Amino acid sequence: MAEVVLFHHAHGLTSGVEAFAAELGQAGHTVHVPDLYEGHVFDTLDEGIAYARRTGFGAVAERGIAAAEGLGSQVVYVGFSLGVMPAQRLAQTRAGAKGALLLHSCLPVAEFGASWPAGVPVQVHGMDRDPFFADEGDLDAAKALIAETDGAELFLYPGEQHLFADSSLPSYDSDAAGLLVGRVIQFLDALA
């Protein structure tokens, strides 16, 4: 059993994120899902991004960092899009990280250090034509991470949906999400 911290995306802590966490829990893993938006959930991505902008992207990320402080260090960090900010930062900077799963987003490794920490496996998942992932630098950052890091994997899914793994959103793609969940559970099982 792996201990997991799952950070939500810009819509907030949706029922789809909670369902994703429940699937990981049903597979035998302990999953913590902090609410970085303090109860706010938004119908559109634009509304959610506007909330994060008003609050401050740094402040949202700091809420994620603070939520992980009460947990042990042997944690797998998972982020959905906006949630990749705290997940990737913690995986790169917190001693004892067991792994990272970066869903729908990836930041350049240089954001949080010179290189990815040795011995910390990482997977990046995104759609190959998602305008946020493929066209705004995330795919390039993921490819660079994979090229420079042992134990790193990139999984591209055919399509253009951004948050395809959240079952509560119109962008949900059940086939791609099912494949992603299976790969995530295998990743976690290997770390348990």
pLDDT digits 0-9 by tens, 120-139: 999 999 999 999 999 999 99
User: Can you give the residue ranges of every domain in the chain?
Assistant: 3-191
Buried residues in 162-182 as b, exposed as e (16+ CB within 10 A): bbbbbbbbebebeebbeebbe
Q: Classify domain 3-191 at the CATH topology level.
A: Rossmann fold (3.40.50)
pLDDT digits 0-9 by tens, 32-51: 999 999 999 999 999 999 99
Residues facing residue 126 across a β-bridge: 156
DSSP state string for 113-159: -SSPPTT--EEEEEETT-HHHHHSSHHHHHHHHHHH-TTEEEEEESS
pLDDT digits 0-9 by tens, 46-87: 999 999 999 999 999 999 999 999 898 899 999 999 999 999
